Amino acid sequence: MRWANIFNLGIKELRSLARDPMMLFLVVYSFTAAVYTAATAMPETLNRAPIAIVDEDRSPLSARLVGAFYPPSFVAPKLITAAEMDARMDAGLDTFALDIPPNFQRDVLAGRQPTIQLNVDATRMSQAFTGSGYIQQIVGGEVNAFAQRYRAAQVLPVDLALRARFNPELNKGWFGAVIQVINQVTMLSIILTGAALIREREHGTIEHLLVMPVTPAEIMTGKIWSMALVVLAACAFSLAFVVQGLLSVPIEGSVALFLAGAALHLFATTSMGIFMGTVARSMPQFGMLLILVLIPMQMLSGGMTPRESMPELVQYVMLAAPTTHFISLAQGILYRGAGLDVVWPQFLALAAIGAVLFSLSLARFRTTITDMA
């Protein structure tokens, strides 16, 4: 391969991208607004959950329970009647509806075990799962304090010393911001390279390249380095100005080492994008193929769910995906401050997977070029 041809072909791809405002908007949005939204959209704890209370007891204890639900975890409780409870939940007005029965305080003081009904709108999964536990703790704590005439913390026989490593505040925003950057690197690299190839086929410029003194390997390599450079630069910008600057997320390890790993990952994913661009015949087909490939890669690579909790067959199969090793090294470097002595197996795996994908994509690209010729 002639490096001058590769360089010039890459410059051509960069100029073509600069003339595509929608692709430029996608790149900018993916590494700025999308990262910020992913870090801030999901609250760290239960936040402003709507709750309604049916107080059929009208006692000091029931009034104490009503007053125990307050912002920011809950909105101010709405006092309703039993007849309104089902209708309000059917209309989606309340996530929780608490029914305090008659004679509730009398039964508590008499040593009986009265039942409080809690209706939960389970279609709101995040609030339903977390909020039901919150409500049980609140109700139990208030009833015990009322019955014992004092409020005291339960003394456990063992003192558990909790130390949260790498994220002492247990801030979900820290995780959401970094993992979003990692996911955007994979998505954008596949989209940009595959779209660049399909765009040339649709515009007829691929035929112009065939009559020039360039080889398929040079054409493909020019697309890979140029699109990888765009994604790598956007990733570095996002880490510096959005993650560390705007969101104040601490980065423990070396950003340069992470970008080196990202470059190896981009070598694999851009090659994958070229392969998918040769399979798809149009942008709609490429979009459908992207959904079938990208979503399983992101969901099963350990970024959203730990790989150890997945079936063993899935764990072994996903070792062939570059995202598995990229997420592992990215989390090790950015979260835990790991060095090359720790993440070198992931670097080696990415290099091997990238070489295989590049070879397969080049063979497919040559076949496509020959058919067009």
Domain boundaries, the chain: 3-41+171-372, 51-148
Cα–Cα distances (Å) from 141 to 61, 68, 191, 349, 363, in that order, read 12, 10, 53, 52, 67
Average pLDDT over the chain, rounded to an integer = 88
> What proportion of the chain, given as a percentage, has pLDDT over 70?
95
Q: At what angle do helices 172-203 and 283-300 cross, to 10 degrees?
A: 150
pLDDT tier for residue 328 given thresholds of 50, 70 and 90: very high
Tokens standing for residue 232: 């790598």
Q: What is the rounded average pLDDT of the residues 35-52?
A: 80
pLDDT tier for residue 43 given thresholds of 50, 70 and 90: low
pLDDT tier for residue 200 given thresholds of 50, 70 and 90: confident
Spatial CB neighbours of 199, under 8 Å, sequence gap ≥ 6: 16, 20
pLDDT tier for residue 153 given thresholds of 50, 70 and 90: low
HSE-CB of 59 using CA atoms within 13 angstroms: 16
Partners of residue 78 on adjacent β-strands: 52
Q: What is the rounded average pLDDT of the residues 250-266?
A: 93
Secondary structure element (H or E) that encloses residue 100, with its range: strand 96-100
Enter the DSSP assignment of 49: B
The residue with greater pLDDT, 33 or 306, is 33
* The pLDDT of residue 150: 62
* The pLDDT of residue 131: 87
* The pLDDT of residue 303: 82
Instruction: Return the closest-CA partner of residue 42 out of 304, 250, 241.
Output: 304
Cα–Cα distances (Å) from 367 to 283, 321, 354, in that order, read 20, 24, 20
Q: What is the rounded average pLDDT of the residues 89-101?
A: 91
pLDDT tier for residue 106 given thresholds of 50, 70 and 90: very high
Gyration radius from the chain CA atoms: 28
CA–CA gap between residue 333 and residue 258 (Å, rounded): 6
Digit-coded pLDDT (tens) for 215-236: 888 888 999 999 999 999 999 9
Residue 373 has pLDDT above 60, yes or no: no
Partners of residue 97 on adjacent β-strands: 52, 119
Q: What is the rounded average pLDDT of the residues 67-79?
A: 89
Query: How buried is residue 89: exposed, middle or buried, by Cβ count under 10 Å (0-12/13-18/19+)?
Result: middle
CA–CA gap between residue 248 and residue 328 (Å, rounded): 22
Which SS3 state, helix, strand or coil, does residue 119 take?
strand
Tokens standing for residue 185: 């690197």
CATH number of 51-148: 3.40.1710.10
CA–CA gap between residue 274 and residue 322 (Å, rounded): 15
* The pLDDT of residue 235: 95
